[in-house]
Amino acid sequence: MKRTMPCQAAVFKRGIAMAFGLVLVATVAYADDMREGSVQARQARQAMMEKAAAEQRTAEQAANASRALIARDRSALEKALRTQELQNTDLKQQVAALSGDLHHLEKTETAVSERLAASDGMIRELVGVIRVTAKDLGALIDQNLQTALMAVETERLRAIAEQSQFPGMADIRKMATALIAATIASGHVSLTHGPITDRSGRQIEAEILALGNFTAAYRIEGEVGYLTCSPAGHQLYALSRLPPARMRKQIAAYMDGDSEAVPMDVSRGGALNQLTHAVSLWQQIPKGGPIVWPILALLAIGVAIIVERVFFLYRKPLDGDSLMHRIATTAAERKWEECLAVCRQQVGKPVARVVAAGLGCRTLQREEMENVLQEAILKEVPDMERFLSTLGMLAAIAPLLGLLGTVTGMINTFHVITQHGTGDPRMMSGGISEALVTTMLGLCVAIPLMLAHTLLNRSVDNHIGQMEEKALTLINIVHRHRQASQG
């Protein structure tokens, strides 16, 4: 409405301008033709005046209408302005109230954020503990031999431990249940039938003895051995090497109920793995290099000497006291030929041969008889001491060969270090094995050879002492009876 009033005033001004223009035109026309156009001028002026008055009335009416409209619009605008001011006041009050609420909410949000951060840290720590516990529990269940006999699910535990799943209360309860079940199963001793993988890799049914979560044994077609559990597939596998016969008998007796004790591995497979991977002496010998063969040759020669000497010295035991008692009894009756016959019956024995030599010179004087007996004893000594010095030499050479193998092995080890460095210890294992095996083998050969040499020497000394004793006894018997016959 404010735009309508300027438009009407402009129309009114244009009307007045046009009227003045017409008046000027009429005046000019009148000046040109006063007499001819006076009447027409007055008529035109009158018409223009009337038209101007009409336009003025129209403009005034339009102006009055515009004023009324403006007044009405102004009243409406003032009313709307008062309404907006009231609404603005209300909004300011609401903003003030909301500002207070916002400040309170900001404080609340800060407190809640702090509590949330603290709770989040506790939750993260708790979840971490739960994941570690799930991993340990999964490993405990996988290593439990009873797991292979029970349907225990560990996939969810792996998912929790590998952070692919967030643990909930239901998972924690299941973990507690699984732990309790595994703990209870660890104290069970069961004898069942089930599938195992035998030493040749075949899947067969066997009688299974499970001793808690420590040891498991099996029996198939007279074969008794230990089992190990694969954590990946929860499968039972027979160890590649059978236990000693005594342990197999104890396991079989326990399965049959004839024994209350059974050998078990309390290390959960550690001792059984050592049993499986144990290397015997004959398996270690080839690792000693070329030096082991001379050492083994020494061992063979030494064993042959020991066998021959033992057979020579102990093949026909002779009771020297019984022999001398018979000779003394027979000599008391002056039956010297019978004494010689008794000795000839034991001609294979050194003592009998010495005594027979003494009986052959019984007519000689005591000193001469002693010389003859001493000669007979000395004649027997070389056969009795044969190869003993060789045996002692072999016992001394064996550790020296072992030391030589140690030196060559260390030389090979340093050569490998020079060529390849120390990055891979397996490159040096050959030389170290050669050094240690030859040393061990040299000592293993030298110790029994030295012990046998000592024992055989002691036996020879005993035989020589026995011959000397019996020779002196014979001399006393002969001279006692000689003196009796002379008296």
Angle, helices 388-420 vs 292-314, to 10°: value is 160
Residue of 100, 454, 485 lying closest to 306 (CA atoms): 454
Contacts of 392 (CB under 8 A, 6+ apart): 450, 453
**For residue 231, which phi and psi values (nearest 5 degrees)?**
-65, -30
Q: How far apart are CA 77 and CA 84, in angstroms?
A: 10
Position 298 confidence tier, pLDDT thresholds 50, 70, 90? very high
d(CA 180, CA 167) in angstroms, rounded, equals 19
Q: What predicted TM-score, i.e. pTM, was given to this entire model?
A: 0.49
For range 303-328, the mean pLDDT: 78
Residue 196 has φ and ψ, to the nearest 5°, of: -140, 165
- Cβ neighbour number for residue 344 with a 10 Å cutoff: 11
Q: With contact defined as beta carbons under 8 Å apart, do 208 and 229 qualify?
A: no
pLDDT tens by residue, 394-406: 999 999 998 888 8
DSSP 270-281: HHHHHHHH---H
Q: Is a pLDDT exceeding 90 seen at residue 331?
A: no
Residue 448's pLDDT is 92
CA distances from 148 to 154, 215, 227, 303, 305 (A): 12, 12, 11, 51, 57
Coil, strand, or helix at residue 152? Answer: coil
CB distance 452 to 302 below 8 Å: yes
Cα(164)–Cα(134) distance, integer angstroms:
13
235 vs 231: CA distance, rounded Å: 8
Reading the block at residue 190, the tokens are 């069961």
pLDDT at position 196 over 80: yes
- What is the residue type of 17? A
Supply angle C-alpha 320, 326, 331, rounded to 5: 120
CB atoms < 10 A from the CB of 26, how many?
Answer: 19
Determine which of 55-59, 71-75, 421-425 has the lowest per-residue pLDDT on average: 421-425
Question: What average pLDDT does range 140-144 have in this prediction?
Answer: 67
Q: Is the pLDDT of residue 316 over 60?
A: no
Average pLDDT over residues 226-234: 69
